[in-house]
Amino acid sequence: MVLVDTSAGSLEPTTGKLILNLQTEGIKPKDIDTVIPSHGHPDHIGENTDSEGRPAFPNARYVMWKDE
């Protein structure tokens, strides 16, 4: 399963709900096998790691434009 962008994380009080929203849809972080950040801005890569700094999607390969 592919995920494009990982949201803003805790950038704002209303953000940081990506994992919860995915789980609501029946998608577990381990189900994601590819993460494609569109670019390196914080609002697009905010939930690449969990609160302890570990990869949020442990089975995923991350791919991004070389220029980013």
Q: Per the domain annotation, does 25 fall within a domain?
A: yes
Q: Per the domain annotation, does 68 fall within a domain?
A: no
Question: Considering the chain, what percentage of its residues have pLDDT values greater than 70?
Answer: 100
Q: Taking the model in full, what pTM does it have? A: 0.85
Position 21 confidence tier, pLDDT thresholds 50, 70, 90: very high
- Is residue 9 pLDDT above 90, yes or no? no
Q: Per the domain annotation, does 28 fall within a domain?
A: yes
Q: Render pLDDT for 25-40 as a digit per residue (tens, 0 to 9).
A: 999 999 999 999 999 9
Range of the domain at 21: 2-62
Residues 6 or more apart whose Cβ sits within 8 Å of residue 43: 7, 8, 11, 15
Based on the structure, what is the number of domains in the chain? Answer: 1
C-alpha distances (whole Å) from 62 to each of 12, 13, 24, 36 are 24, 26, 23, 6
What is the rounded radius of gyration, in angstroms, for the C-alpha atoms of the chain? 11
Share the mean pLDDT of the chain. 93
Q: Per the domain annotation, does 67 fall within a domain?
A: no
